[in-house]
């Protein structure tokens, strides 16, 4: 795994690190009585390089308009100069006495200090470059935020003129950045997000065009068109936000079987912090309308906090959920008052003030919850059956050891997943899995009770652990078999539902039962999608063989199919109402292609998961 996160930093610091390693070896040899060689010449070379580096650093500070760089870089420059001075002093002392212990100590301190300070210097500059890209990303987000208020073709033309150069710049800079990264995972995420943004941008513009067309004619379907537009703008916003998140990463633990619980919590905490200003701006504006960016930010803060509650300690979860519940009620009430034109009344202003205070309480509660998880070392149960089995087996191999309840929670999650799988199965298969779930649940409770009494190492506990391990294995096999069967049933034909729906949409005006046929085929497409999504999520949880990357890709693609289906149906409805509109036709075709591509991706990922040796063994 690479030590440095960009190729430029790696190319500069690698030689420095090698020189430091050589000095460490010389130091160790001197400990064994071998005299240190004369280092004045190499140290002089290092000093010259440091002088040049400091000069470039000071020039950078003077020419930069980045206040963070101007604040952080001087300290790093001082550390580099101080370390270089230590090296010079050490080389002079060693020339006088090749066995000098204080000189050797100073040599190691100086060389290590140069490596660390140079690393800090380069990182300071690199972070400044990343901030420049992020500023451009935020400009794109600002334009996307106003997409929903564009209501004329002239406004759309201006929107496009403003957005296009920003998007092009982000595309160029992110593309160059991903080639510079040494962590392949980060690079792949940036490439994937950028591709999505490039694909979605013209589809968003088309959806805005059809919305304007409908509104200007005062025709049917304005609500569906607005929903299509908002969905696509949100999809693009999500991709840009993911780009911003990944741009700021400097390390990746490739050995992790899944995202660490604390990392997820901190990500959610950052998401809340990023949206708080927009939410407060909305609360301070008594004339702000319902459904705007500020209200959405407020709702998203509540959602993110609820996700934090799912992953933290019970007492913190209760506090967060209570504040979230209060915030939802208060926000709903404020929206109603503003909708009625009463946003400036004392009642509304008091509510807005109360919400702002509650938001502060929520941020504090989330921060406390994250700190408590960090302190307790609370680990989240794995998100695949294989991962949960590994956590359960670790506990069952030594039930007397306190694992903070992780093994028991993992078993509960496997049982819950088993019951979910059983829901979609016919009689005998369903009964078999439910019976195994009950047996595993009962044995887990018995073992948990014995452990709570301090009897986890007794022969009785060991026997229950052995039986529980066997039953868990049986349950896993049954889940795997059921998932394979569901994949075969649900993905054997992914073409017909979309084909039949498309035919219904494109049926000419005057076709008998045209509207009813459309409604029937739309309902059938929705049913098919719902079942396919449910099966895909089942495979992600129960059938990815512990492959984190595959499980996450499948979960993401399934969520896209789920959110895209109603948008496709709305686009179909618009196309039916405006059969002669080129914009409506193009809009429907865009979303139809998106749906077809995403569904094919889901099927291929399911095939990959259910074909893997880990899964079928």
Q: Is residue 301 domain-resident?
A: yes
Domain-embedded: residue 131? no
How far from 309 is each of 305, 312, 363, CA to CA, in Å?
6, 5, 12
Is 466 part of any domain? yes
**Domain shared by 35 and 66, yes or no:** yes
166: closest CA among 144, 199, 193, 196? 144
Residues 297 and 364 in one domain: yes
Q: What is the mean pLDDT of each run of 10 residues along the chain (617 residues)?
A: 62 67 65 71 77 84 83 80 85 82 82 78 83 94 94 95 96 93 86 94 94 89 93 95 88 48 83 83 80 76 93 88 96 92 92 95 94 74 75 86 81 86 79 93 91 88 92 88 85 94 94 94 96 86 66 88 95 93 93 96 89 46
Q: Do residues 115 and 153 both lie within one domain? A: no
Structural domains counted in the chain: 5
Q: Which of 451, 486, 521 is the last residue of a domain?
A: 486
Does any domain span residue 291? yes
**Residues forming a β-bridge with 6:** 181
Beta-bridge partners for 181 = 6
**Same-domain pairing of 590 and 500:** yes
The overall pTM is greater than 0.75: no
136: in domain: no
Do 562 and 503 lie in one domain? The reply is: yes
- Contact between 552 and 503 under an 8 Å Cβ cutoff? The reply is no
pLDDT reported for residue 257: 39
Any idea what the CATH number is for the domain that residue 305 is in? 1.20.120.810
139 domain-assigned: no
Contact 535, 606 (CB under 8 A): yes
Asked whether residue 133 is assigned to any structural domain, the reply reads no
Both structure tokens of 511: 């076709």
Residues 11 and 114 in one domain: yes
Q: Which CATH number does the domain housing residue 189 bear?
A: 1.20.120.230
Give the phi and the psi of residue 249 in degrees, each rounded to 5.
-80, 140
- The answer to whether residues 286 and 239 belong to one domain is no
Q: What is the pLDDT of residue 367?
A: 94
What integer pLDDT is reported at residue 20 of this predicted model?
Answer: 62
Structural domain boundaries enclosing 437:
382-486
Residue 361 to residue 364: CA distance in whole angstroms: 5
Answer yes or no: do 285 and 298 share one domain.
yes
Last residue of a domain, one of 249, 283, 309: 249
Same structural domain, 469 and 501: no
Are residues 498 and 615 part of one domain?
Answer: yes
Domain match, 459 and 502 both? no
Residue 135 domain-assigned?
Answer: no
Q: 610 with 498, same domain?
A: yes
**How far does the chain reach from its first CA to its final CA, in angstroms?**
31
Cβ atoms of 293 and 582 closer than 8 Å: no
């Amino acid at each position: 795994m690479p030590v440095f996160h960009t190729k430029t930093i790696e190319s500069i610091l690698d030689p420095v690190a090698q020189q430091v390693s050589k000095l460490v070896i010389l130091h160790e040899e001197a400990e064994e009585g071998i005299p240190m060689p004369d280092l004045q010449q190499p140290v002089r070379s290092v000093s010259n390089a440091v002088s040049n580096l400091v000069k470039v650093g000071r020039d950078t500070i003077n020419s930069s308009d980045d206040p963070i760089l101007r604040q952080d870089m001087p300290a790093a420059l001082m550390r580099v100069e101080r370390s270089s001075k230590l090296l010079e002093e050490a080389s002079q002392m060693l020339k006088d006495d090749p066995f000098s212990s204080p000189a050797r100590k100073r040599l190691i301190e100086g060389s290590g200090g140069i490596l660390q300070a140079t690393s800090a210097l380069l990182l300071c500059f690199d972070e400044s470059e990343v901030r420049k890209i992020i500023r451009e990303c935020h400009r794109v987000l600002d334009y996307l935020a106003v997409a929903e208020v564009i209501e004329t073709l002239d406004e759309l033309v201006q929107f496009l003129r403003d957005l296009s150069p920003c998007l092009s710049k982000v595309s160029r800079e992110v593309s160059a950045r991903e080639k510079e990264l040494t962590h392949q995972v980060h690079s792949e995420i940036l490439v994937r997000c950028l591709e999505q943004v490039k694909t979605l941008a013209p589809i968003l513009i088309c959806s805005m065009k059809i919305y304007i067309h409908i509104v200007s004619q005062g025709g049917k379907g304005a609500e569906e068109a607005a929903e299509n537009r908002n969905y696509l703008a949100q999809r693009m916003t999500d991709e840009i936000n993911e780009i911003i998140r990944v741009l700021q990463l400097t390390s990746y633990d490739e050995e992790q079987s899944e995202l660490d619980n604390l990392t997820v919590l901190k990500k959610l905490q950052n998401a809340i912090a990023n949206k708080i200003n927009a939410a407060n701006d909305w609360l301070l504006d008594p004339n702000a309308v319902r459904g705007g960016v500020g209200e959405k930010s407020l709702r998203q803060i509540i959602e993110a906090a609820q996700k934090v509650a799912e992953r933290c300690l019970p007492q913190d979860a209760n506090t967060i959920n209570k504040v979230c519940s209060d915030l939802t009620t208060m926000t709903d009430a404020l929206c109603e008052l503003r909708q009625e034109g009463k946003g400036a009344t004392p009642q509304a202003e008091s509510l807005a003030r109360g919400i702002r205070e509650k938001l502060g309480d929520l941020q504090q509660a989330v921060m406390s919850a994250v700190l408590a998880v960090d302190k307790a070392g609370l680990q989240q149960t794995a998100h695949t059956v294989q991962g949960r089995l590994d956590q359960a087996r670790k506990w069952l191999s030594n039930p007397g050891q306190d694992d903070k309840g992780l093994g028991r929670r993992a078993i509960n999650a496997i049982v819950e997943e088993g019951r979910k799988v059983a829901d979609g199965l016919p009689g005998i298969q369903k009964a078999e899995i439910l019976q195994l779930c009950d047996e595993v649940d009962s044995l887990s409770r018995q073992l948990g009770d014995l452990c709570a009494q301090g009897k986890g190492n007794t022969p009785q506990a060991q026997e229950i652990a052995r039986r529980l391990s066997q039953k868990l294995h049986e349950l896993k096999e049954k889940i795997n078999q059921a998932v394979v069967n569901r994949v075969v049933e649900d993905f054997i034909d992914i073409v017909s539902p979309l084909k039949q729906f498309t035919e219904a949409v494109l049926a000419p005006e005057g076709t008998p039962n045209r509207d009813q046929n459309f409604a029937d085929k739309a309902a059938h497409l929705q049913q098919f999608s719902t079942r396919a999504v449910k099966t895909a999520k089942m495979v992600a949880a129960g059938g990815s063989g512990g492959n984190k990357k595959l499980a996450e890709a499948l979960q993401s693609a399934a969520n896209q199919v789920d959110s895209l289906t109603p948008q496709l149906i709305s686009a179909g409805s618009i196309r039916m109402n405006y059969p002669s509109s080129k914009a409506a036709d193009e809009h429907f075709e865009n979303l139809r292609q998106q749906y077809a591509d995403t569904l094919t991706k889901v099927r291929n990922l399911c095939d990959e998961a259910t074909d893997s040796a880990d899964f079928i063994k």
